[in-house]
Amino acid sequence: MTSHEFNEYILYHENDPNSNVVATVHCFYDDKSVGYIRFYKGDVPGPSILRGGLIEVTFSADRIQEIITTIRYEEPLFISAKGDKSMVSTVREPVGEQEGKEKNGGELN
């Protein structure tokens, strides 16, 4: 499995009639490009390792919201590719990480 940690990103929403890509997340680690998360309508190609060791992971367009939510709220973050498998992941976290942050009827402060 090839993996890269990332801590910054740029989100591109795309509309190209010659491409099935609808959005791309360009991933960086401390200002260095480490790869891309691409979202496709229709058929989704497998992930790939690009020139320079960059990783391109691929997902169906219907997964954009859940993956963007993960990127916005979790850290550290990794993109990984192995064979036909694409992953956006975190590391092991303690249970109840939001514990103690809820007040006023369940609202987060």
Per-residue model confidence as pLDDT tens digits over 62-105: 999 999 999 999 999 999 999 999 999 999 888 876 655 554 45
Report yes or no: 65 and 44 within 8 Å, Cβ to Cβ: no
CA 25 – CA 39 distance, rounded (Å)? 9
What was the pLDDT predicted at 31? 95
What was the pLDDT predicted at 96? 76
CA 67 – CA 52 distance, rounded (Å)? 25
Q: How many domains does the chain have?
A: 1
Within a domain: 73: yes
Within a domain: 38: yes
Within a domain: 98: no
- Give the domain extent around 66: 2-92
What was the pLDDT predicted at 99? 53
Average pLDDT, the chain: 89
